[in-house]
Amino acid sequence: MTRAVPVHPLELISAQIDGEISPGETKFLGAHLRTCASCQQRQAELRRIAAGLDGMPVAAPPAGAIERLLERVRHDCRPPLPLPLPPPAAPAPPVVAEPPAEQTAPGRSRAILTVPLALAAALAVVLLVFRMNTPVDTPADPAAPQPSPTVTEDRSPAAVPIVSPPISLAASVAPAEAIDPPAAPSPRIAPPVAPLAAPARPDEVPRPAAPAAPDDTLPPAALPAPPEVVEAELREPHADPVVLPTIEFRGNSKQLSRQARQLVATVAEFLRQHEDVKLVIRGHAEAKSTDKSLALGQSRALAVARHLEDLGIDPSRLVPTPAGSEDDRVDFALER
């Protein structure tokens, strides 16, 4: 590791402990230590602390933790995000509701670039698209048949985002009751959608991970509750639908464009107005491998999260996560 900026000798000592010090730095440090009693003392101290940290015990996972996770994965891992597995013929836009002619999946990137910023910002601020597909029919048995007979991937509605179509006029005027799960390959396939009145009491909305007992023992403020709980609570009769914008990225970039920053600012404004929700920031990235896609998706989500932090949003309300490999964008979902 080389750099032009001079480094504090103590930092070199720390790097030396890790074996991450260049020959030049070793020489410099050696020369310095010969003349500096204080640094010699600190060297001994840092080494002692490093060794102590190294031997510090780590708590073992609670008994059965892996099994609980696997159980949850078995029930829950059907892709809950709107990862499009578009049928070859007709790729579905993220929100399907009699899409206007100009709204096609390949045009999403272009759409966001062509909508005037002011309009985009205005549309971005408000609009909560209700999700009606409460997972009342989540199968208890992993071997049980999936609700969607012909869909290759069952879209568990558990974590389908409340919002996040690309920002466009078309998406924002879509009537809520016409929204299908974004990934449903074709409108002819009935998605597992429950009617609006199905969850009679919001607090009784079924959770997708019934077997994962610890869920129920944890404080809701600290842990992301299943999104549908929030949906249920936000689903007040008078609530205006809200659309959070989609942040588009170019190529392999994780940089926020000026336009993207403005869109993120609208999200910050939304969060300031709704202090009880958390924002799941989902970074998508097209890449050759899942790994690269995850890494870039995570970086993009982090870039957006950091900008939101810069805008004064409490980082504890932000949950950046990689989300999928089908597009170059960051979109959002809300959680309690």
List 77, 90, 144, 178, residue binding other proteins (CB under 8 A) = 77
Continuous segment of H or E residues that includes residue 121: helix 117-125
Q: Is 294 in the site for other proteins (CB under 8 A)?
A: yes
Q: Is 291 in the site for other proteins (CB under 8 A)?
A: yes
List 180, 228, 231, 326, residue binding other proteins (CB under 8 A) = 326
Q: Is 33 in the site for other proteins (CB under 8 A)?
A: no
Which one, 175 or 315, has the nearer CB to other proteins? 315
The amino acid at residue 55 is: G
Q: Is 57 in the site for other proteins (CB under 8 A)?
A: yes
Cα–Cα distance for residue pair 290/296, rounded to 1 Å:
10
Letters for 191-230 (x = contact with other proteins by CB under 8 A, - = none) are: ---------------------x-xx-xx--xxxx------
List 126, 210, 295, 311, residue binding other proteins (CB under 8 A) = 295
The amino acid at residue 299 is: S
From 115-123, 233-241, 255-263, 297-305, give the range in contact with other proteins by CB under 8 A.
Answer: 297-305
For the stretch 259-263, contacts whose Cβ atoms lie closer than 8 Å and that sit 24 or more positions apart, written own/partner, are 259/113, 259/117, 260/304, 261/307, 262/117, 262/120, 262/121, 263/120, 263/121, 263/124, 263/167
Percent of the chain as helix, strand, coil, to the nearest 5: 40, 10, 50
The amino acid at residue 69 is: L
Find the shortest distance in angstroms from Cβ 43 to other proteins: 11
Residue 140, C-beta contacts closer than 8 angstroms, at least 6 positions apart: 75, 210
Residues in a beta bridge with 136? none
Find the shortest distance in angstroms from Cβ 317 to other proteins: 8
Residues in a beta bridge with 335? 278
Letters for 165-184 (x = contact with other proteins by CB under 8 A, - = none) are: --------------------
Cα–Cα distance for residue pair 80/85, rounded to 1 Å:
12
List 6, 24, 52, 88, residue binding other proteins (CB under 8 A) = 52
Residues in a beta bridge with 280? 319, 333
Q: Is 290 in the site for other proteins (CB under 8 A)?
A: yes
Q: Is 302 in the site for other proteins (CB under 8 A)?
A: yes
Q: Is 38 in the site for other proteins (CB under 8 A)?
A: no
Q: Is 81 in the site for other proteins (CB under 8 A)?
A: yes
Which one, 97 or 301, has the nearer CB to other proteins? 301
Q: Is 105 in the site for other proteins (CB under 8 A)?
A: no
